[in-house]
Amino acid sequence: MSQYLNVPFTEKDQAKALGARWDGQTKQWFVPDGISAQPFAQWLQQTHTLQSSLIAPLYLRTSCQPCWRCSKVSRVYCLGASAINDVQYDDDESQPYSNIVENENDLIDVCDLEDIDTRLLPFLNQHASTYRPAFSKTKSSKCWMNHCEHCDAKIGDFFLHSEPGGAFFPMSEDESTITDSIMFEDGNFLFNGGFSF
Ligand SMILES: [Zn+2]
């Protein structure tokens, strides 16, 4: 089975030069059969590290945020789940324990997303192409970030989820620009990342 890759647009030439191929149907790069995936390690989905899962119904949440760089209003995205199976390790990392987190009146927002179930990639690519993995200077690591749809500036999750008045932190219902569209009705989807209410 071909291995799908998580290649940011700006790194596509690099992936192509190494032999990655483009799947026009799923809009993803992949490692062709018979080629070692090792040179592509930086773009591989690290599914073995995924622990927690999003429990469907799963939503794509869309909101609006003024861009810090060009000042235009851009659409921004995050995943919303009805419940999360949150898996944590004790300090000695021996025993994982899990805990179902639910939000009675609203969805749980996924933020600081590091890795996501590959089954969601085609949907995200198609409906939220400005939300994709990028290098975050604040975190010194790669994570999913929104990008301004006008100037491609990275818009960090902190501004969207943790700043009062941010796209996913409206101060009142009237102020909210969040719309939810359903992605999957059922199923569990592994992820690595944080979440907020
Ligand atoms: Zn912008």
Lowest mean pLDDT among 17-26, 40-49, 142-151: 40-49
Strand residues in the chain grouped as ranges (E): 3-5, 21-23, 28-31, 52-66, 73-89, 96-102, 108-116, 131-136, 141-147, 154-155, 179-184, 188-196
Centre of ligand 1 from the C-alpha of residue 91, in Å: 41
Centre of ligand 1 from the C-alpha of residue 148, in Å: 5
- pTM for this structure? 0.73
8-state DSSP, 41: G
Q: What is the pLDDT of residue 78?
A: 97
Centre of ligand 1 from the C-alpha of residue 63, in Å: 15
Centre of ligand 1 from the C-alpha of residue 167, in Å: 15
Centre of ligand 1 from the C-alpha of residue 130, in Å: 12
Q: What is the mean pLDDT of residues 38-56?
A: 76
**How far apart (Å, rounded) are the C-alpha atoms in residues 37 and 18?**
10
pLDDT band with cut points at 50, 70 and 90 for residue 173: confident
Q: Which amino acid is at 159?
A: F
Centre of ligand 1 from the C-alpha of residue 124, in Å: 20
**pLDDT surpasses 50 at 47:** no
Q: Which amino acid is at 42?
A: Q
Centre of ligand 1 from the C-alpha of residue 114, in Å: 23
Centre of ligand 1 from the C-alpha of residue 82, in Å: 31
DSSP string, 134-186: EEETTTTEEEEEEE-TTT--EE-HIIIIISTTSTTS-SSTTT---EEEEEESS
Q: What residues have CB less than 8 Å from 97, skipping those under 6 apart?
A: 87, 88, 89, 90
**pLDDT surpasses 80 at 170:** yes
- Taking only the tens place, the pLDDT of each residue in 87-146 is 877 666 666 778 899 988 889 999 999 999 999 999 999 999 999 999 888 878 889 999
Q: What residues have CB less than 8 Å from 41, skipping those under 6 apart?
A: none
**pLDDT surpasses 50 at 192:** yes
Centre of ligand 1 from the C-alpha of residue 68, in Å: 7
Residue pair 167/160 in contact (Cβ under 8 Å)? The answer is yes
**How far apart (Å, rounded) are the C-alpha atoms in residues 48 and 117?**
11
What is the share, in percent, of the chain residues with pLDDT greater than 90? 62
Q: What is the pLDDT of residue 50?
A: 58
Residue pair 54/81 in contact (Cβ under 8 Å)? The answer is yes
Q: What is the pLDDT of residue 46?
A: 53
